[in-house]
Amino acid sequence: MENRKIIILLILFAFLSCKNPQYNHIKSDLYSKQDTLFLLQQNNWDEKGFEKNITLYDSHVVFKSKDCELGKVVDVESFKKNDWYYYDKNNVYFHNSFPGFFPSLNAVPSKSKKLIRLGYDYVSTDDKVYYQSTEIINADYSTFKVSNLHKQGVNYGFDKDNFYYKDSIVVDENMLDYLKNKSNILQPKNNGTTKRHNNL
Protein backbone atom coordinates (compact mmCIF):
# COMPACT_ATOMS: atom_id res chain seq x y z
CA MET A 1 0.00 0.00 0.00
CA GLU A 2 2.82 2.41 0.90
CA ASN A 3 4.62 1.64 -2.39
CA ARG A 4 1.44 2.37 -4.29
CA LYS A 5 1.19 5.85 -2.71
CA ILE A 6 4.84 6.55 -3.54
CA ILE A 7 4.32 5.50 -7.17
CA ILE A 8 1.21 7.68 -7.47
CA LEU A 9 3.08 10.65 -5.99
CA LEU A 10 6.01 10.11 -8.36
CA ILE A 11 3.67 9.95 -11.37
CA LEU A 12 1.89 13.11 -10.21
CA PHE A 13 5.19 14.92 -9.67
CA ALA A 14 6.45 13.88 -13.12
CA PHE A 15 3.18 15.01 -14.71
CA LEU A 16 3.28 18.41 -13.00
CA SER A 17 6.96 18.86 -13.86
CA CYS A 18 6.21 18.25 -17.55
CA LYS A 19 3.21 20.54 -17.47
CA ASN A 20 5.06 23.44 -15.81
CA PRO A 21 8.77 23.46 -16.67
CA GLN A 22 10.80 26.31 -15.24
CA TYR A 23 11.46 29.59 -17.01
CA ASN A 24 15.18 30.26 -17.42
CA HIS A 25 16.27 33.89 -17.04
CA ILE A 26 18.34 35.17 -19.99
CA LYS A 27 18.61 38.95 -19.41
CA SER A 28 16.43 41.91 -18.53
CA ASP A 29 12.85 40.55 -18.71
CA LEU A 30 13.70 37.85 -21.27
CA TYR A 31 13.25 34.22 -20.33
CA SER A 32 13.29 30.91 -22.15
CA LYS A 33 11.44 27.67 -21.62
CA GLN A 34 11.83 24.60 -23.80
CA ASP A 35 13.62 26.51 -26.60
CA THR A 36 10.95 29.23 -26.67
CA LEU A 37 11.73 32.86 -25.89
CA PHE A 38 9.40 34.74 -23.49
CA LEU A 39 9.12 38.31 -22.25
CA LEU A 40 8.04 38.73 -18.65
CA GLN A 41 5.01 40.91 -18.16
CA GLN A 42 4.46 41.71 -14.50
CA ASN A 43 1.09 43.40 -14.64
CA ASN A 44 -2.17 42.53 -16.28
CA TRP A 45 -5.44 44.43 -16.43
CA ASP A 46 -8.88 42.97 -16.05
CA GLU A 47 -11.77 43.69 -18.42
CA LYS A 48 -12.66 46.86 -16.46
CA GLY A 49 -9.13 48.24 -16.69
CA PHE A 50 -8.14 47.56 -13.08
CA GLU A 51 -4.58 46.43 -12.56
CA LYS A 52 -4.07 42.98 -11.14
CA ASN A 53 -0.82 41.51 -9.91
CA ILE A 54 -0.42 38.65 -12.35
CA THR A 55 2.79 37.49 -13.97
CA LEU A 56 2.48 36.64 -17.65
CA TYR A 57 5.05 35.51 -20.17
CA ASP A 58 4.60 36.61 -23.78
CA SER A 59 5.99 34.23 -26.38
CA HIS A 60 4.57 36.12 -29.34
CA VAL A 61 4.84 39.66 -30.68
CA VAL A 62 2.80 41.56 -33.26
CA PHE A 63 5.31 42.75 -35.86
CA LYS A 64 4.28 44.44 -39.12
CA SER A 65 0.68 43.54 -38.23
CA LYS A 66 1.48 39.82 -38.03
CA ASP A 67 1.61 37.49 -35.05
CA CYS A 68 5.20 36.25 -34.80
CA GLU A 69 7.19 34.14 -32.38
CA LEU A 70 9.19 36.43 -30.14
CA GLY A 71 12.40 34.49 -30.77
CA LYS A 72 12.18 35.20 -34.51
CA VAL A 73 11.97 38.99 -34.02
CA VAL A 74 14.03 39.90 -30.92
CA ASP A 75 17.79 40.30 -31.09
CA VAL A 76 18.67 38.88 -27.68
CA GLU A 77 22.22 40.23 -27.62
CA SER A 78 21.20 43.89 -27.99
CA PHE A 79 17.88 43.63 -26.11
CA LYS A 80 17.42 46.18 -23.29
CA LYS A 81 14.69 47.75 -21.18
CA ASN A 82 14.05 51.49 -21.10
CA ASP A 83 11.40 52.58 -18.61
CA TRP A 84 8.08 51.24 -19.97
CA TYR A 85 9.33 49.76 -23.27
CA TYR A 86 12.12 47.58 -24.63
CA TYR A 87 14.44 47.91 -27.60
CA ASP A 88 17.09 46.05 -29.53
CA LYS A 89 19.23 47.00 -32.52
CA ASN A 90 16.24 46.80 -34.89
CA ASN A 91 12.98 47.51 -33.05
CA VAL A 92 11.21 48.94 -30.05
CA TYR A 93 8.73 46.77 -28.12
CA PHE A 94 5.76 47.78 -26.00
CA HIS A 95 2.68 46.23 -24.43
CA ASN A 96 -0.87 47.15 -25.36
CA SER A 97 -2.64 49.51 -22.97
CA PHE A 98 -4.68 46.58 -21.71
CA PRO A 99 -2.23 43.72 -22.15
CA GLY A 100 -4.55 40.89 -21.12
CA PHE A 101 -5.21 40.28 -24.80
CA PHE A 102 -2.96 37.87 -26.70
CA PRO A 103 -0.53 38.73 -28.11
CA SER A 104 -0.15 41.90 -26.10
CA LEU A 105 3.38 42.80 -27.19
CA ASN A 106 4.01 45.02 -30.24
CA ALA A 107 7.22 45.65 -32.19
CA VAL A 108 7.92 48.58 -34.49
CA PRO A 109 11.13 49.35 -36.39
CA SER A 110 13.18 52.13 -34.82
CA LYS A 111 16.64 53.54 -35.46
CA SER A 112 16.50 56.00 -32.56
CA LYS A 113 15.40 53.40 -29.98
CA LYS A 114 13.14 56.08 -28.50
CA LEU A 115 9.42 55.54 -28.13
CA ILE A 116 6.79 58.11 -27.18
CA ARG A 117 3.40 56.92 -25.94
CA LEU A 118 0.88 59.32 -27.45
CA GLY A 119 -2.03 57.72 -25.64
CA TYR A 120 -3.53 54.26 -25.34
CA ASP A 121 -2.03 52.12 -28.13
CA TYR A 122 -0.79 55.03 -30.25
CA VAL A 123 2.99 55.52 -30.20
CA SER A 124 5.59 57.50 -32.11
CA THR A 125 9.19 56.77 -33.05
CA ASP A 126 11.49 58.11 -35.75
CA ASP A 127 8.92 60.72 -36.85
CA LYS A 128 6.26 58.07 -37.51
CA VAL A 129 3.01 57.28 -35.72
CA TYR A 130 1.83 53.73 -35.06
CA TYR A 131 -1.33 52.11 -33.79
CA GLN A 132 0.03 49.08 -31.96
CA SER A 133 2.44 47.61 -34.55
CA THR A 134 0.97 49.22 -37.68
CA GLU A 135 2.24 52.50 -39.07
CA ILE A 136 -0.41 55.15 -39.68
CA ILE A 137 0.63 56.24 -43.15
CA ASN A 138 0.91 60.04 -43.61
CA ALA A 139 0.01 60.81 -39.98
CA ASP A 140 1.72 63.99 -38.81
CA TYR A 141 3.69 62.94 -35.73
CA SER A 142 4.27 66.54 -34.58
CA THR A 143 0.54 67.33 -34.26
CA PHE A 144 -0.85 63.83 -33.55
CA LYS A 145 -2.99 63.54 -30.42
CA VAL A 146 -5.44 61.01 -29.02
CA SER A 147 -9.06 61.99 -28.56
CA ASN A 148 -11.17 61.06 -25.54
CA LEU A 149 -13.79 59.71 -27.99
CA HIS A 150 -13.67 56.00 -28.65
CA LYS A 151 -15.40 53.15 -30.43
CA GLN A 152 -15.38 49.61 -29.06
CA GLY A 153 -12.70 50.54 -26.55
CA VAL A 154 -10.37 52.08 -29.15
CA ASN A 155 -9.80 55.82 -28.99
CA TYR A 156 -9.73 57.97 -32.08
CA GLY A 157 -6.51 59.77 -32.95
CA PHE A 158 -6.17 63.00 -34.89
CA ASP A 159 -3.58 65.29 -36.38
CA LYS A 160 -3.78 68.65 -38.16
CA ASP A 161 -5.42 67.04 -41.19
CA ASN A 162 -7.36 63.90 -40.25
CA PHE A 163 -9.11 61.75 -37.70
CA TYR A 164 -7.90 58.17 -37.35
CA TYR A 165 -9.45 54.98 -36.04
CA LYS A 166 -6.66 52.55 -35.25
CA ASP A 167 -4.36 52.84 -38.28
CA SER A 168 -6.91 54.15 -40.81
CA ILE A 169 -8.12 57.62 -41.74
CA VAL A 170 -11.79 58.15 -40.91
CA VAL A 171 -13.52 58.85 -44.24
CA ASP A 172 -17.17 58.27 -43.43
CA GLU A 173 -18.79 61.74 -43.61
CA ASN A 174 -21.34 61.02 -40.86
CA MET A 175 -18.62 59.80 -38.52
CA LEU A 176 -16.42 62.80 -39.35
CA ASP A 177 -19.30 65.17 -38.57
CA TYR A 178 -19.93 63.34 -35.32
CA LEU A 179 -16.25 63.48 -34.30
CA LYS A 180 -15.91 67.15 -35.18
CA ASN A 181 -19.10 68.12 -33.35
CA LYS A 182 -18.57 65.94 -30.30
CA SER A 183 -14.90 66.53 -29.74
CA ASN A 184 -14.63 70.12 -30.98
CA ILE A 185 -10.97 69.28 -31.50
CA LEU A 186 -10.44 69.67 -35.20
CA GLN A 187 -12.34 71.99 -37.50
CA PRO A 188 -12.54 71.23 -41.22
CA LYS A 189 -9.91 72.77 -43.45
CA ASN A 190 -10.87 76.20 -44.71
CA ASN A 191 -8.80 77.50 -47.62
CA GLY A 192 -5.83 75.38 -46.56
CA THR A 193 -5.91 76.38 -42.88
CA THR A 194 -6.88 74.17 -39.97
CA LYS A 195 -8.25 75.50 -36.69
CA ARG A 196 -7.21 73.64 -33.57
CA HIS A 197 -9.00 73.82 -30.25
CA ASN A 198 -7.36 73.00 -26.96
CA ASN A 199 -10.38 71.64 -25.12
CA LEU A 200 -9.74 67.89 -25.29
How far apart are the C-alpha atoms of 89 and 76, rounded to whole Å?
9
pLDDT at 153: 83
Strand order in the sheet with 122-125: 116-119, 122-125, 128-131, 134-135
Distance of CA 141 to the CA centre of its chain: 18
pLDDT at 19: 44
Quickly list H helices, the chain: 2-19, 173-183
Indicate if the alpha-carbon torsion angle 89, 98, 63, 141 is positive or negative. Answer: negative
Q: Which regions of the chain are under pLDDT 50?
A: 12-20, 44-45, 47, 49, 186-200
pLDDT digits (tens, 9 = 90+) for 44-94: 445 454 555 556 678 889 998 899 999 999 999 999 999 889 999 999 999
Which residues have C-beta within 8 Å of that of residue 74, sequence separation ≥ 6?
Answer: 30, 37, 39, 61, 88, 91, 93, 107
CA angle 44/52/37 to nearest 5° reads: 35
Its pTM stands at: 0.73
pLDDT at 195: 35
Residue from 160, 153, 158, 182 nearest 170 by CA = 158
pLDDT at 118: 93
